[in-house]
């Protein structure tokens, strides 16, 4: 599964967020930042993929579950 993401903000904040995302995903596409037109900061386009080594640096004792308000109540929850 691949998720495409666009981040927009200050370069140092984007760098910190990308470092955090690398703890949970394989991250591709961080090598170029584009200046925002008519706004502050820069934008970066990423591709996030599930880790193939199944290594996760988070605490698994309390797994989080994600449910959209638009999802039918009888559908299964998705773990991040």
Tokens standing for residue 25? 């995903």
CB 77 within 8 A of CB 43: no
Those residues with Cβ within 8 angstroms of residue 52's Cβ, 6 or more apart along the chain or in another chain: 26
Straight-line distance from the first to the last Cα atom of the chain, in angstroms, rounded to the nearest whole number: 12
Per-residue pLDDT band at 43 (split at 50, 70, 90): very high
Per-residue pLDDT band at 79 (split at 50, 70, 90): low
DSSP 2: E
Q: What is the pLDDT of residues 46-78, one digit of tens each?
A: 999 998 775 555 554 544 443 434 445 555 555
Q: What is the pLDDT of residues 2-42, one digit of tens each?
A: 899 999 999 999 999 999 999 999 999 878 999 999 888 99
| Entry pTM | 0.61
């Amino acid at each position: 599964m691949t998720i495409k993401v666009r981040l927009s903000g200050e370069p140092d904040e984007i760098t910190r967020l990308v470092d955090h995302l690398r703890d949970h995903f394989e991250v591709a596409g961080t090598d170029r930042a584009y200046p925002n037109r008519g706004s502050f900061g820069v934008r970066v386009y990423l591709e996030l993929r599930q880790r193939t080594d199944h290594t996760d640096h988070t605490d698994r004792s309390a797994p989080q579950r994600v449910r959209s308000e638009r999802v039918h109540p009888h559908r299964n929850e998705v773990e991040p």
